[in-house]
């Protein structure tokens, strides 16, 4: 997917107003500028930021449930991918969990700069996070291996919580490895940005033997 194709994809699938485009453009510009100070994205993806990061994040909305007034919890938000993109393109109340000081500062600056009233930063380790549960959606992009992710985050989920987890080509193998300990309703969606990438979609995730 080229950068022009990425922008066209966004226009085709979302109601992208002029204000939303301005927010996306501003976010991308700030992301690239901040790269001079901290490593927010891989340098090799700098020239493909719309395809590799913006669309890659936005596509999660296609697999999300209807907005229900609940919370979309994004774990290890880092540069705000996908959390900031979700907040720009939707009305989801988006909680961005990030423990690294430099990234917390960047996320807070982006929320203020882009006037994202529907986003907030939880500047702490996930183990220390105290919030109302269950949330409606949990996303995590390169946060932790699947077994550790479930172990750390399952306390925020309920029977109707949707897990949206971007994965690489070994998605199915990773899922099979955790099945002895974890159960749920899972399916795998093809990523629109990379034929070797996928999105693991889960519901009713819980430890085996627990109800």
First to last CA, the chain: 42
Q: How many residues does the chain have?
A: 211
The pLDDT-based confidence of 188 (bands split at 50, 70, 90) is: very high
Average per-residue pLDDT in the chain? Answer: 92
Instruction: Give the pLDDT score at 204.
Output: 94
What is the separation of C-alpha 183 from the centre of its chain, rounded to a whole number of angstroms? 22
Instruction: Give the pLDDT score at 210.
Output: 65
pLDDT tens across 146-181, in order?
999 999 999 999 999 999 999 988 888 889 999 999
CATH number for the domain whose boundaries are 3-207: 3.40.50.150
* Confidence check: pLDDT of 9 > 90: yes
Specify the pTM: 0.93
Domain spans, the chain: 3-207
CB-count exposure of residue 114 (10 Å: 0-12, 13-18, 19+): buried
Instruction: Give the pLDDT score at 83.
Output: 96
Instruction: Give the pLDDT score at 123.
Output: 94
Task: With beta carbons less than 8 A apart as the criterion, state whether 110 and 27 touch.
Answer: yes
* Confidence check: pLDDT of 209 > 80: no
Which tokens hold the place of 204?
Answer: 């009713």
The pLDDT-based confidence of 132 (bands split at 50, 70, 90) is: confident
DSSP 14: S
Which tokens hold the place of 43?
Answer: 């340098």
pLDDT tens across 54-78, in order?
999 999 999 999 888 899 999 999 9
Q: List CB contacts of 117: < 8 A, sequence separation 6 or more.
A: none
């Amino acid at each position: 997917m080229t950068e022009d194709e990425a922008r066209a994809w966004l226009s085709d699938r979302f109601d992208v107003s002029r204000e939303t485009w301005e927010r996306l453009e501003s976010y991308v510009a700030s992301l690239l500028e901040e790269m001079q100070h901290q490593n927010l994205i891989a340098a090799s993806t700098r020239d493909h930021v719309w395809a590799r990061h913006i669309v890659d994040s936005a596509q999660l909305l296609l697999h999300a449930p209807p907005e229900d007034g609940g919370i979309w919890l994004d774990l290890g938000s880092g540069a705000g991918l996908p959390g900031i993109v979700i907040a720009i393109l939707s009305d989801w109340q988006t909680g961005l969990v990030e423990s690294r000081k430099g990234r917390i500062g960047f996320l807070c600056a982006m929320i203020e700069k882009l006037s994202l009233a529907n986003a907030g930063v939880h500047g702490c380790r996930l183990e220390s996070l105290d919030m109302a549960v269950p949330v409606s959606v949990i996303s995590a992009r390169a946060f932790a291996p699947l077994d550790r992710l479930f172990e750390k985050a399952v306390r925020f989920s309920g029977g109707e919580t949707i897990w949206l987890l971007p994965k690489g080509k070994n998605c199915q193998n990773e899922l099979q490895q955790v099945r002895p300990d974890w159960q749920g309703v899972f399916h795998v969606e093809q990523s629109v940005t990379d034929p070797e990438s996928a999105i693991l979609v889960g519901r009713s995730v819980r430890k085996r033997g627990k109800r």
